[in-house]
Structure 1
Amino acid sequence: MTPLLLSRFAAPVGTILLVHDDAHVLRALDFGDYEDRMHRLLRLHYGPFTLADAPAPHRTTQALQRYFEGDFGALAAIPVETGGTAFQRSVWAALRTIPAGHTATYGALARQLGSPGASRAVGLANGANPVAIVVPCHRVIGANGALTGFGGGLPRKQWLLEHEGAQARFF
């Protein structure tokens, strides 16, 4: 069994659940009202796991606090390690290259990864991202510029994009 630690962080978008290991590496970030989804993703990525309450790593909470205060580069300081397939991890790494205030489409990410026909697979990997905000899956929008699904709900996605100053169309 994979031992993991859970802490909570109060944020302007609601309670954030932080899952980390004993080395303070972030393994998952989800929202309090989506805890069941987080558990499902943890099982998919790690198999059997244990989850014990623990204080949040200071580096993680400090970076999140700075992000919500407008220092969008602060998230780069959070160490992240995830399970998932090699393709999923490549998508998640590509997500971290999308600057705050910008958006990308699934097709653009697929082309960036050298798989121009894989936009649907990119979308599935994006939806399986266990580390919201830090691995910014909220910055991916539809080809027509519209908001598409987000594990934390579309209103939260819109809030995050507006917070970052993105110029996407919100339908």
Structure 2
Amino acid sequence: MSIAYIQTPLGIASIVGDEHGISEISILEEGNCSETIPEELLTAVTQLQEYFQGNRHDFDFKMNPKGTEFQQKVWKELLQIPFGKTISYLDLSKKLGDVKAIRAVASANGKNPLWIVVPCHRVIGTDGSLTGYAGGLWRKKWLLEHEIPSFQQSLF
């Protein structure tokens, strides 16, 4: 298992993975950047940097997130949300086939181990409000404004 730390506009990102793929990307409140990037993490690091520069809308490196079967199902559905679009927790639950599973869907969304790459930040409240984000609502707002420049005017 290898790990790298890179600077992003939202703080230090931690990238963890091995030859089987990236298993975790998270944001830290503080830390130091890696001086060298392990070979198996290089593509993910490059693609994240391109995303923050505004030059990438999707990711195609190998992913290997760890989670339950249900969590994996939710994360797979999150990957279907297009760049620049949002979906409500209710609509996500409907897409997964069970409107009553909204709390379980929200919980799985919150346990997403691949920050930004599996775009849990694109899930919002039914009324359009920013709700629940493990990285902090200010980061969710920043990410949505980065992807949807008109987002701020439409919600606030």
- Taking structure 1 as the reference length, the TM-score comes to 0.79
Answering whether residue 69 of structure 2 is matched by residue 72 of structure 1, we say no
Deviation digits for residues 112-132 of structure 1 (CA, Å, limit 9, x no counterpart): 111122111100000111111
Asked if the contact 1:17–1:31 (Cα under 8 Å) also holds between the matched residues in 2, the reply is: yes
Q: How far apart, CA to CA, are the structure 2 residues paired with 1:71 and 1:90?
A: 28
Compute the displacement of 1:24 (Å): 6.1
The residue aligned with 2:107 is: 124
Compute the displacement of 1:76 (Å): 2.2
Q: How far apart, CA to CA, are the structure 2 residues paired with 1:115 and 1:131?
A: 24
Q: Which runs of 5+ in 1 are unaligned?
A: 36-52
Answering whether residue 155 of structure 2 is matched by residue 169 of structure 1, we say yes
Measured at CA, do residues 16 and 154 of structure 1 come closer, stay the same or move farther in structure 2, by a change above 3 Å?
Answer: same
Q: Which runs of 5+ in 2 are unaligned?
A: none
CA RMSD of aligned residues (A): 2.0
Letter in 1 for 2:25: L
Structure 2 counterpart SS, 1:158: helix
Asked if the contact 1:105–1:142 (Cα under 8 Å) also holds between the matched residues in 2, the reply is: yes
**Percent of aligned pairs sharing the same letter:** 41
Asked if the contact 1:8–1:18 (Cα under 8 Å) also holds between the matched residues in 2, the reply is: yes
Asked if the contact 2:16–2:22 (Cα under 8 Å) also holds between the matched residues in 1, the reply is: yes
- Give aligned pairs, total: 148
Deviation digits for residues 58-88 of structure 1 (CA, Å, limit 9, x no counterpart): 2111111111121333x32122111111110
Answering whether residue 24 of structure 2 is matched by residue 28 of structure 1, we say yes
- Taking structure 2 as the reference length, the TM-score comes to 0.86
